[in-house]
A and B are shown apart, each in its own frame.
Chain A
Amino acid sequence: MPMSVVVWIVEGTWPACVDAARAHTSTDADVALLHVTPADVPGAAHGAFAGLLGRGHRERDPGTRLEHLAAASAQELLQSAADRLGRPCTRTERTGRVEREVVAAAEGRDLLILARDGDRTHLGPHSLGPASRFVVDHAPCPVLLVWPEASPGLSTMPPPPPRP
């Protein structure tokens, strides 16, 4: 049975994940490209509009326009990722709490590929941002964690603690 792989596509860091999928999975692997639109971004616009007391006109709510724009931009991003992959793949769009949606989408898969999204100038725990930290900690399947670009050298590692 072909390997089932899910690749988490995030703005800014996705090309490294697609490249890793090409490099580390067989050509017959069942690859799913996953993008999650954070619900809080349109939510913040909805909230800002709701905070304008007395403006009525729900059709002017910018949060609704943001939801449409976000859907369109997620499609474009997944299209770019599929083009870069150059293999048959499925595309999945989700909306909600990003890290939880990714964990849910990884269930039952053979591999989850994601990129570090924190401080990428040093080796260490800060190279994982809050979302990728959550996903790595909770992933229900094997994880391939890649650097978005060349990893920093060993010299960026903090010195070992002094011996007692």
Chain B
Amino acid sequence: MTLRQRPRPIAGLTRNGRRVRCRKSSAGVTPGAATCVCPLVRGISFGVTWGGSSATDRKDPILNTQLAETLSAVLLVLVLVCAVVRPFGWPEAVVAVPAAGLLIATGAISLDDALDEVQRLGPVVGFLAAVLVLAQLCDDEGLFQACGAWMARTAAGRPRRLLALVFMAASAITAVLSLDATVVLLTPVVFATAARLGARPRPHVYACTHLSNTASLLLPVSNLTNLLAFAASGLSFTRFAALMALPWVAAIAVEYVVFRRFFASDLDAGAQAPAGGEPPRLPMFALVTVACTLAGFVLTSVVGVDPAWAALGGALALAVRGLLRRRTTPRALLGAASVPFLAFVLALGVVVRAVVDNGLDEALGHLVPEGSGLWELLALAGLAAVLANVINNLPAVLVLLPLTAPSGPGAVLAVLLGVNIGPNLTYAGSLATLLWRRIVHAHEGEVELKEFTRLGVYAVPASLGAAVLALWGSLAVIGGG
């Protein structure tokens, strides 16, 4: 894992620190020309290869590009469909990794470009693994159970107070330990807490699912999409957090208002079970480790070291303790790191890069607004939210990042607002997943689409609008650095 900060991209010259491609540089010059005529990057060579030979050797390079683009697009669709459908219960990497390999073998993406992409995503994936392990170890230490006990005690049998506590806990846990922790580890605890209080669980469980998206704006570690954007934006950890703090608060506040109104009758119903009981035992070691990890993020970004090291440190501290106390095993740690998921992210990155480089950047380039005024930010966030809702926010962010990185950090963060908040429109994160779930679970008790979509229609545009406005304000005050 190469853990160092990447240089900030120079707007208009490089995309994401990548080689610049000038496909339409002049008449008759198409991919395959030996040098670029763009005066800024004169002398940089590039070429699309096909079947192992350089495109310059071929007579009809346009066809090759089209073929390469078609193959890349077909494989991307295949990878995404398999990720949603999961045929035979295979891990997603089983299709994604061979697809990336096929694209390299056929030359649709050169080995150099693929390696460049893997090198770029490597630190991100390492960071992600450390945070996933950290969250699981916090659960092993009892952090989430203690959180449930604290909520039950403080709520004192009042559902509205419980909702406020769930909002606080889910926002903090999503921001620090990532959205996976909220979805997988916190949601069952919240349900059990509501049940223990005799309160109706629906508002509180739905709050967890919504906040796992909305509250994942704050830190680069909160969401994989953030980690990808963080690597592309060139922002420091602290500046990222400073710029996103206000949008994070604004989006959560809007969600809270919507939830209070939407679930008014469930919250009015009250709760019967006696509150109180023993004060929860605080897992001090886990809490201190998480606090130190957060401090580590700030410290590493001040001294210019990759903050992934801080996450690794936190995960190691808890792992050593967990192993010594036999609370975890090396096998469980490896499972928590989700190696197939990490491989899937790397392979998906390579496939998306092939699609983008072979022509999607030009096709989408017209749609992507440039600049960082309020309207441009709103348009970018809206476009990102729509793209995220079609398939998933992970491919959406991979496609949009290289197109928006040249416009500066403001544009990248606006994309993040869209891809992170947008998935709340459907309960399954995207239309593709939703449709598939409806097909598979048609005869089982599924979420009532109308009800949840109504909640999304109230919550998403309002929270996204508030967040973009807040981002625009933050950019004006703090600056994109």
Contact = CB atoms under 8 A, between A and B. Distances in A.
A-B complex is real: yes
Interface in B400-420: none
Interface in B196-214: 196, 198-202, 205-206, 208-209, 212
Interface residues of A, number: 47
A12 B427 contact: no
A53 B272 contact: no
Interface stretch (A21-29, A35-43, A150-158): A35-43
A52 B205 contact: no
Q: Which interface class (under 10, 10 to 19, 20 to 34, 35 or more) fits B?
A: 35 or more
Contact of B341 (A41, A54, A58): A54
Given A56-B340, A66-B187, A73-B195, A51 B433 contact: yes
A49 B184 contact: yes
A44 B270 contact: no
B86 interface: yes
A136 B206 CA distance: 26
B430 interface: yes
Chain B binding site: helix, strand, loop or mixed by DSSP?
helix
Interface string B158-195: 01000000000000000000011001110110011001
Contacts of B345: 54
A48 B427 contact: yes
B272 A51 contact: no
Contact of B445 (A14, A66, A96, A117): A96
Contacts of B395: 53
Interface in A52-94: 52-58, 60, 62, 65-66, 69-70, 72-73, 76-77, 80
Interface in B347-394: 348, 392-394
A95 B445 CA distance: 8
A65 B209 CA distance: 15
B428 interface: yes
B91 interface: yes
B321 to A, nearest CB: 23
Interface string A1-44: 00000000011111100000000000000000000001111011
A13 B270 contact: yes
B451 to A, nearest CB: 7
Interface string B424-457: 0011111001100100000011111001100000
A104 interface: no
B187 A130 contact: no
Contact of A69 (B180, B188, B199, B434): B188
Contact of A50 (B202, B205, B206, B429): B429
Would you list the 8 A-B pairs with minimal beta carbon distance, nearest first?
A: A51-B429, A39-B445, A12-B269, A73-B195, A129-B265, A47-B427, A48-B209, A47-B428
30 contacts: A11-B200, A11-B272, A12-B269, A15-B272, A39-B446, A40-B451, A41-B202, A45-B187, A48-B427, A50-B428, A50-B429, A50-B433, A51-B392, A51-B427, A51-B428, A53-B80, A53-B83, A53-B392, A53-B393, A54-B341, A56-B338, A58-B89, A62-B184, A62-B187, A62-B188, A66-B187, A66-B191, A72-B195, A73-B192, A129-B266
Given A44-B447, A53-B392, A54-B93, 6 more contacts: A11-B198, A13-B270, A40-B447, A53-B80, A55-B338, A117-B269
